[in-house]
Amino acid sequence: MTPSLDPPIRAPSTVMEGGTLVVETAAGVKEVTIAIPGGGTRRVRVSNGRAEFLLPPGVRGGTPIFVGDGTKPVPFTTTVMVVGSP
């Protein structure tokens, strides 16, 4: 757990097709929400300050993935782009 991340979640700017998206979180974040256009929304539990999510095979390069911490009243969201494999 990273105690003083600002913003409260940190994700890479890109992830490969079929890869694993790793999100670092600040202390107190228990889960992150991952939204994939056309693929739905999933909640991923945080363990030791990290949330890991394996991209489903149908998520292609060029797809944005929205990652949020779900806190209220001011949630934080960031975007990760899926890049195609060479």
- Walk me through the domains of the chain, giving residue ranges and CATH numbers: 9-83 (2.60.40.10)
CA–CA–CA angle 35, 36, 37 (5° rounding): 115
Distance CA 33, CA 78 (A): 11
- At 71 the pLDDT is 83
pLDDT along the chain (86 residues), means of 10: 72 97 93 96 96 95 95 90 88
Distance CA 50, CA 2 (A): 9
- At 85 the pLDDT is 74
- At 35 the pLDDT is 98
- At 73 the pLDDT is 83
Q: Is the pTM higher than 0.85?
A: yes
What amino acid occupies position 30? K
